[in-house]
Amino acid sequence: MTVWQHPVAWALRVGVVMATLICGTALAASVTDEQWSAYQDAFVQPNGRVVDTANGQISHSEGQGYGMLLAVLADKQTDFDRIWSFTRTELMLRDDGLVMWRWDPNAKPHVTDPNNATDGDILIAYALGLAGEQWKRTDLTAAARELASAIGSKLVVQQQGMPVLLPGNAGYDAAARPDGPVVNLSYWIFEAFPVLAELAPETDWQAVSASGIALLEKTMTPYRDLPPEWLSIAARVRSAKGFKDEFGYNAVRIPLYMIRGDIQSPELLERMRKAMTAPDGNVVLKDLTSDSVTETLNDVGYRIIPALADCVLHGTRLPEEFMNFQPTLYYPSSLHLLALSSAVSRYPECLP
């Protein structure tokens, strides 16, 4: 059991999160006006659509969730409302309360995949919950409760004696795949679970959080220091059929989510930090079967993740290069701001 999984530690974490929200300003100070303006100018259209600039200019529930969360962290209520309005009117069209995940400006209809993506749903519910408390908006809190309840009832299933998150409502459970359930560990957004626990207490979110760490521990054997993106947990934990056995773009954010969620698993975090970092500080993606590098990522939005882990674990201050936020592509820029926000709000000793 990691420290953070202990019931007392969980209760304290929930209390800290909610006290921070009630105080109102602590979260808002972690993204500056300048940073938010740069992000918004690069990726958020006037109608609130967050654009994935490296993926054919599409939008998706993950991007809307990141945009909403960053707007809360920047204390930009009007901008939040625009992003939420687009999300609500264009993607929340399912009859089960979940969020359609993919929106293409060049397609008619614009929604090209009505399935949900659970990380997007969690980000949106979490951002709504934060926003409702921070701005004293009962409408946002009510929407957060509805979505959190839908996530808990539709996407949390029992497997291997613990509750796990399905990546989507369709296509991943045991009925849909011989090796199902299949999960993606980058969908465990640890910082969100204490808030979801307040919004939808009928689901055991502490146990959901703990299952993510337990699965990480099972995948990171003595011979493998990085988790694969897609896991079959039907019997023993292994890479899912039909997916590459790789540490890829999704998985690079797992250490960031652990840090932002205050997960006290230093050994796991250190192993990932070392294995994902090249000698020059770039981030490497790997084929885990051969342990070979498939791609090297030099964007500061990726590089800041192991650098922040190094600070959290060893007290190494962030290099100055990470402090000047200049938008590049949607995904690494979103991760960059989330990492900076974490340093400002939780780890000021990491700042140069």
DSSP 69-111: HHHHHTT-HHHHHHHHHHHHHHT---TTS--EEEE-TTSSSSE
Q: What is the DSSP letter of 191?
A: G
Residue % of the chain over a pLDDT of 90: 90
Contact call for residues 134 and 27 (beta carbons, < 8 A): yes
Question: What count of other Cβ atoms lies within 10 Å of the Cβ of residue 349?
Answer: 11
Q: Count of domains in the chain?
A: 1
Angle (deg, nearest 10), helices 138-155 and 118-134 = 150
pLDDT in tens, 76-89: 999 999 999 999 99
Domain hosting 123: range is: 3-350
Instruction: Identify each DSSP E strand in the chain by its residue range.
Output: 59-60, 100-103, 111-116, 156-159, 162-165, 182-184, 230-232, 238-239, 246-247, 283-287, 292-297
11-15, 66-70, 112-116, 274-278, range with the lowest pLDDT = 11-15
pLDDT grade for 221, boundaries at 50, 70 and 90: confident
Let me know if 119 is a catalytic residue.
Answer: yes
The predicted model scores a pTM of: 0.94
In which residue are the tokens 């019997």 written? Answer: 235
Q: In whole angstroms, give the CA distance from residue 154 to residue 131.
A: 24
Per-residue confidence (pLDDT) for residue 8, from 0 to 100: 47
Confidence band of 1 (pLDDT split at 50, 70, 90):
very low
Is residue 1 classed as helix, strand or coil in its secondary structure? coil
**CA 277 – CA 290 distance, rounded (Å):** 17
Which helix (H) or strand (E) segment is 205 a member of?
helix 205-219
Longest Cα–Cα distance in the chain: 52
CB-based contacts of 341, cutoff 8 Å, min separation 6: 30, 31, 70, 73
Residue 191 tokens, joined? 């910082």
Pick the more confident residue, 222 or 342. Answer: 342
Q: What is the CATH number of the domain that holds 16?
A: 1.50.10.10
The residue annotated as part of the active site, out of 75, 79, 119, 262, is 119
